Amino acid sequence: EKGTYAHYMLKEIDEQPAVMRRLVQEYTNASGELEVDEEITSKLNNSDRVYIVACGTSWHAGWVGKKLIENLTATPVEVHVASEFAYDMPIISEKPFFIFISQSGETADSRQVLVKVNELGYDSMTLTNVAGSTLSREAQTTMLLHAGPEIAVASTKAYTAQIGALAILAKVAGVVNGNENAVAFDLVHELGLVANAMEVLVNQKEIIADLAQEKLSTTRNAFYIGRGLDYFVSMEAALKLKEISYIQAEGFAAGELKHGTIALIEEGTPVIGLITEEVMGSHTRGNLKEVESRGADTLVISMEGLEKEGDNIILPKINTLLTPLVSVIPVQLLAYYASLQRGLDVDKPRNLAKSVTVE
């Protein structure tokens, strides 16, 4: 099934351009328009607040989803870790709409929340890769990721499919509501550009493998920093690195680093900066300078048009709302090569299972 690939993770990283294209196809109707189940868009549009509940990588996708839904539908969104929400529920609005994001659809922490949401009679949807999964059956409605089976423990193509699907949901719901941003957003075109950009990046494996060797081969810890969407991807980048390379890593809001954590920067500490947005990106560059002057070994991933001399990886230019779909590709590959170069079990890291069915 892996074919010529040494690991499922690398195969699944490589599949992402095709997954993006398939996702668009699956949600395009006979007249060539994006379409989402009417029950879902009306539940979202009738709600006064969306609550996204998830764990791990799916939770990270939820943060990007918040940005997309707020931008394209003007409905406020909260993002919650399932295991916290289950036992410490925040104040819920009058007309909430719950979105459970789960690749497997079997995560016990998320199910725990869904059981309570059902008891309370709230509207819900599960965004999952697995039709007929527990979370899919128990929520009122389902959107599928159509990403194909994800075998590697470290989630890659499910994360990008989750963000793509949330973008489609936000766009369609926004258009139904006549939201100007949603109407003006040519998502099919933009996701086509995303798929092309992903392809460019998955073809830069040697460059990224060399960077992993240079920056991550002996370190015990590492930091990812960014602002806005780049912060959300920094959290996902750090999780990916931790779980398969066992390097202690943290994804940090770039501006917050100096409020304490900068004390951890030593001679040679790797700090990887993500820069996909102009104003916030220029501040992140300032934060990179701060850590460099304290000895950090920096690596910069920047978007075309914002690049500076010396940046290590340049992302093809795509729409500012969709940057996580491309900025995550090189950080997935950095994690993959860091794990490989350390001789670790890339697809089956220690202490982890693909679906976590205990609370």
Binding site for ligand F6R (CB under 6 A): 55-58, 102-104, 107, 110, 154-155, 239, 243, 355-356
Give me the catalytic one of 2, 205, 317, 354.
Answer: 354
The distance of closest approach from Cβ of residue 141 to ligand F6R in the complex, given in angstroms and rounded to an integer, is: 17
Listed residue (168, 141, 162) closest to 69, CA to CA: 168
Q: Is the distance from CB of 125 to CB of 43 less than 8 angstroms? A: yes
Min. distance of Cβ 303 from ligand F6R in angstroms?
24
CB of 139 to ligand F6R, least distance (A): 13
Rounded Cα distance, 135 and 325, in Å: 25
Length of the chain measured in residues: 359
- Decide if 354 is catalytic: yes
Q: What angle do CA 353, 358, 359 make, to 5 degrees?
A: 125
120 versus 352: smaller Cβ distance to ligand F6R: 352
Handedness of CA 141, 145, 151, 152 (dihedral sign): negative
Q: Which two tokens stand for residue 37?
A: 């189940």
The rounded distance, in Å, linking the Cα atoms of 359 and 135 is 15
Is 281 within 8 Å of 307 (Cβ atoms)? no
3-state secondary structure of 173: helix
The residue number with the shortest CB distance to ligand F6R is 56
Nearer to ligand F6R, 159 or 185 (CB): 159
Q: 320 or 355, CB closer to ligand F6R? A: 355
CB 22, min distance to ligand F6R, A: 19
Q: Which is nearer to ligand F6R, 55 or 201 (CB)?
A: 55
Residues catalogued as catalytic: 354
